Amino acid sequence: MIPKVFKEVIDLGDGREISIETGKLAKQAHGSVVVQSGKCMLLCTVVSNYKQADVDFLPLTVDYREKFAAAGRYPGGFFKREARPSDGEVLTMRLVDRVLRPLFPKDYHSETQVMIQLMSHDDDVMPDAMAGLAASAAIQLSDFPFECPISEARVGRVNGEFIINPTRSQLEESDIDMMIGASADSVMMVEGEMDEISEEEMTEAIKFAHEAIKVQCAAQVKLAEAFGKKDVREYEPERTDEDLAKKIHDMAYDKVYAVAKAGSSKHERSAAFAEIKEEIKASFSEEEQENFGGLISKYYSKAEKAAVRDLTLNEGLRLDGRKTTDIRPIWCEVDYLPSTHGSSIFTRGETQALATVTLGTSREANQIDMPSYEGEERFYLHYNFPPFSTGEARPIRGTSRREVGHGNLAQRALKGMVPDDCPYTVRVVSEILESNGSSSMATVCAGTMAMMDAGVQLKKPVSGIAMGLISDADSGKYAVLSDILGDEDHLGDMDFKVTGTADGITACQMDIKVKGLSYEILVNALKQARDGRLHILGKITDTIDTPNQDVKEHAPTMISRRIPNEFIGALIGPGGKVIQEMQKETETTIVINEDPVTEEGIVEILGVGKKGIDAVMAKIDSLLFKPQVGSIYEVKVIKMLDFGAVVEYTEAPGNEVLLHVSELAWERTENVSDVVNMGDVFDVKYFGIDSRTRKEKVSRKAILPKPEGYVARPPRDDKRSGGRDNRGRDNRGRDNRRDDRKPREEKKED
């Protein structure tokens, strides 16, 4: 039986469409959709267990995978099977998770899985821009308790015009690449990179994307109604006790308020809060503690959050004693590690990042191999967050999704400032040594200084700051917090990170937790972030104001050279023999790539010390050397033969030519050694290709004066008897040979 299919189409306004379809695939999932644009197709399925998990959080897993078959390709590696997710897939998972998670009820703890798969790829469609739409549409077809439909959209700007879900080619020309996640009423998530745009321009881009998202949310509602909206499942809600909540609030609020107002350090403050919590617990009998379970801790946390928020809204003070616009003390240092190519320390309050830079050739570029995109990165940044940075002991099991996301944000913040003509592959690694608020922004600052220390000629230095927002809808009060602490990250209504130069924003990441945040508040928050960002930028430039002009003595120098395509083979040599010997002799690394446009060879020479690089350059010069007809060149004898001497041009070692014995001197020469010997240096004249021998001809005698009475030998007469043209033709012509055979045949018959 052919299943009944339900479908909604979204018009993007420029001839492109996105369709949402259900009823054909994966019908045992609690919700499933196929989202298609062009030839790009995403399958999204959602499942949630009916039994609540014994945890106090939502165990939500968002999984996004791109199948290589979708692009007609094989997976790399030995097993030829998709394995662990790539960084690109992880980043898409994070984008979707951040928008979905807040819309589930806080007391819904059933294990929930959202699986999004790229099943068919289109080069003109970027699938990650439709992942949020697919996830939300599938949930709308399920019976999950979920607040409202959402969607995500990418926005770009080309020639001043905003574009929704631009193609990859359009994105290359765009000065904005932002992903916005929102419901019909509220923007919830923003992440992206920009080319030094203003706060107002960023806000306009968000507004533009939100209008498109409203249309996508409406399409989901229509699809769910046509399919048949399911009744929301019943689940066992968390236990509540309003009397207990009020009792604990009254017991804790004033004490927490006093500790928060004291402006103590992280450890002192944490210890004081823990002591208040223990005092409250101790006020209940063992029987009451057992009866109330985790409610005491839950309600204490609510009272603590309320007290800290009120302190900021009422008095403009924060947990560490700062005012809302204050930045924590900063100290910086560069060239800290003696053996790295570049290094820096950036410390802001209780957050510290140590960044290192390594310079390499194109061979060290980061290869990206995804079904939706193949390419390489000549600049990339890795972020490590060890447990000791927060005073914890826990196992390390590979790179976490959080580390991938924070590293990507810092990389996007900095990559636009790396010049296009930078000859190196640049790898930045950030080690977080202490953390109490925005280690990703510390990474941006440390990465800037480390690259400047390494001699990478950044266009402009970049700084970053993490901001927070506390608001009260009833009173209309709000406070924007500059340079937030870790605790403020959790209790605020918005946390956002903004990076940029003195001239504009280069990257951002926002998570907005309140509905209906006005754009006026958003602009004000971004402007306050700019003030803080410029303050931090001043601390960076006080430490190192311009990039070092040269790399460090122990760091490799990179020289790039273009050579005509026909010389690439000669430089590599048979089986790579020439280039391998050259690398060994000069202690350099040589990489040869082909320019896909001009088809020229691009030779990268990486070496420590000038001597080895100069030797390679000399070899290339020698390879490209082309003597001009009629010019005089200095040569050196490198081999003696009976019929002449092999000489090489002294300005192009390795370029050899035969100096024939007849061109050594005007006088007749019996022995080559009578005129020249091994190692002799002298001048010769270049005559080009000899028409008779078809080989290059040089002459020593041509630049020597003729001896007195010298008589040139007469030229050879090719027409004389026995000449090449008449040789054997009088008696051995083809007709004569044929006539000569007849008598022999006749004799045989006789």
Of 564, 560, 686, which Cα lies nearest the Cα of 617?
560
The answer to whether the beta carbons of residues 176 and 194 sit under 8 Å apart is yes
d(CA 125, CA 341): 39
Q: Which residues neighbour 722 within 8 Å (Cβ) at sequence distance 6 or greater?
A: none
Residue 596 Cα to chain centre, angstroms: 21
Of 744, 363, 437, 369, which Cα lies nearest the Cα of 588?
363
The answer to whether the beta carbons of residues 465 and 480 sit under 8 Å apart is no
The answer to whether the beta carbons of residues 354 and 300 sit under 8 Å apart is no
d(CA 676, CA 696): 20
DSSP 90-102: HHHHHHHHHHHGG
Q: What are phi and psi of 608, to 5 degrees?
A: -95, 120
d(CA 609, CA 598): 31
d(CA 425, CA 1): 57
Angle between helices 266-282 and 295-315 (to 10 degrees): 130
Structure tokens, 699? 């002459």
d(CA 430, CA 381): 8
User: CA angle at residue 588 from 582 to 589, to 5 degrees?
Assistant: 95
Tokens 């024939």 found at: 660
Of 450, 470, 429, 32, which Cα lies nearest the Cα of 227?
32
User: CA angle at residue 445 from 444 to 447, to 5 degrees?
Assistant: 65
d(CA 461, CA 534): 11
Question: Does 489 show up as a binding residue in the annotation?
Answer: yes
Tokens 């460090």 found at: 552
Pairing of strands 187-197, 330-334: unpaired
Structure tokens, 351? 């957050």
d(CA 21, CA 2): 15
Q: What are phi and psi of 530, to 5 degrees?
A: -65, -45
The answer to whether the beta carbons of residues 314 and 262 sit under 8 Å apart is no
Question: Does 739 show up as a binding residue in the annotation?
Answer: no
Angstrom CA distances, 208 to 19, 153, 155, 187, 538, stand at 21, 10, 8, 11, 34
The answer to whether the beta carbons of residues 447 and 441 sit under 8 Å apart is no
Pairing of strands 557-563, 494-501: unpaired
Angle between helices 295-315 and 242-261 (to 10 degrees): 50
- DSSP classification of residue 553: T
- DSSP classification of residue 543: H
d(CA 564, CA 542): 46
d(CA 7, CA 36): 11
**Number of residues in the chain:** 750
d(CA 524, CA 520): 6
Strands of the 588-594 sheet, one edge to the other: 557-563, 601-607, 588-594
d(CA 135, CA 119): 15
Of 612, 520, 605, which Cα lies nearest the Cα of 559?
605
Angstrom CA distances, 734 to 11, 393, 721, 742, stand at 84, 99, 19, 13
Which amino acids are annotated as binding site, given as ranges? Answer: 489, 495
Which amino acids are annotated as binding site for Mg(2+), given as ranges? Answer: 489, 495
